[in-house]
Homo-oligomer: A and B are copies of this chain.
């Protein structure tokens, strides 16, 4: 399951709640594109902004629209108490895997993070993916902690952030210290092709949540070992990657979904604002330049 393309849809919301019809449409596009898995309630799915009822709604809608495609559910929260409740809800709704980031306000220690994963892994019956996202959690995993976590039951994947240094080197190093039973997956769409070419098992993809065929083509080329083709496909999307790095990928894909009419603007919860007018002009140019405007 934790191989190939895991596509992350937005959770379109208004101040009143989740837009279930729009979410169904977003997930159905991914199902139709035959992605390997669908990651709901990821960072792109704004899980920390949703309450328990809203998260359950998202899961039920997504599992139905996924029509058998495995659904991986984000379950992160500040308190272990809530994480365990969300894990139970996700399993009940039919999630095939759970994605857990060490969400923090007071910065967590290594032992606190280990304890969180230990408590969750011992309470669930489906695979758990360690979600390393220092930009949002403020917590930096060490390779030693990865290795300890990989020994826990149910921990079957690690989702790594784009590394500061060369991504191929990072993936190779991680593969050498982690057991083969643990999937190594990449975040940071602009380094995904290189990571896959270096042996990463899975791409946890933001662009795949809106343009699944575009992302799938990169996965297919990399998996087939067509290095130059995979690199060229990724390089062709550089105008989009630049906007991701500048504005945050969430704001960009929300604007894409609004542009194509897949969601109603504004689709992000306040205080988050969509892209500025200037950002939308840049996006329109990037969509034209990459051939995604259609």
A251 closest partner in B (C-beta)? B106
Q: Are A270 and B48 in contact (CB under 8 A)?
A: no
C-beta contact mask, A69-111 vs B, less than 8 Å → 1, else 0?
A: 0000000001111000000000000000000001101111101
* Residue contact A115 to B270, C-beta cutoff 8 Å: yes
**What's the Cα separation between A105 and B269 when bound, in Å?**
12
Within 8 A of B (CB), among A41-73: 43, 46, 48-49
Determine how close the nearest CB of chain B comes to the CB of A140; give it in whole angstroms: 13
Q: Are A105 and B136 in contact (CB under 8 A)?
A: yes
Among B103, B116, B271, B276, which residue has its beta carbon within 8 angstroms of that of A270? Answer: B116
Q: How many copies does the complex hold?
A: 2
Instruction: Report the separation of the CA atoms of residues A272 and B105 in the bound assembly, to the nearest whole angstrom.
Output: 10
User: Does A135 lie within 8 Å of B108, measured CB to CB?
Assistant: no
A78 x B270 contact (CB < 8 A): no
B-chain residues with CB within 8 Å of residue A136 when the two chains form the complex:
105-107
In the bound complex, do residue A250 and residue B106 qualify as a contact, i.e. CB atoms below 8 Å apart?
yes
With an 8 A cutoff between CB atoms, is A294 at the interface? no
**Interface size classification for chain A:** 20 to 34
Shortest A132–chain B CB gap in Å is: 15
Interface majority SS on A: helix, strand, loop or mixed? Answer: loop
**Set of chain B residues within 8 Å of A15, measured between Cβ atoms:** 81
A116 with B271: in contact, given A248-B106, A248-B107 (CB under 8 Å)?
A: yes
User: For the complex, is A119 an interface residue (Cβ under 8 Å from B)?
Assistant: yes
In the complex, whether A113 has a CB less than 8 A from a CB of chain B is yes
**Given A136-B105, A138-B138: A79 and B111 within 8 A (CB)?**
no
| A166 in contact (CB, < 8 A) | no
- 18 extra interchain contacts, Cβ-Cβ under 8 A, other than A80-B270, A111-B276, A115-B271? A15-B81, A43-B106, A48-B78, A48-B105, A49-B78, A79-B270, A79-B271, A102-B271, A105-B136, A106-B136, A106-B248, A106-B250, A108-B271, A112-B273, A113-B271, A115-B270, A116-B270, A138-B138
Which A positions have Cβ atoms within 8 angstroms of B? Answer: 15, 43, 46, 48-49, 78-81, 102-103, 105-109, 111-113, 115-116, 119, 135-136, 138, 248, 250, 269-273, 276
Enumerate 23 A-B pairs (CB-CB under 8 Å) in ascending A order: A15-B81, A43-B105, A43-B106, A46-B105, A46-B106, A48-B78, A79-B269, A80-B270, A105-B136, A106-B136, A106-B248, A107-B135, A108-B271, A108-B272, A109-B273, A112-B271, A112-B272, A115-B270, A115-B273, A116-B271, A119-B270, A119-B271, A138-B138
Closest 10 CB pairs of A and B: A80-B270, A116-B271, A48-B105, A112-B271, A80-B271, A79-B269, A105-B136, A49-B78, A112-B273, A49-B79
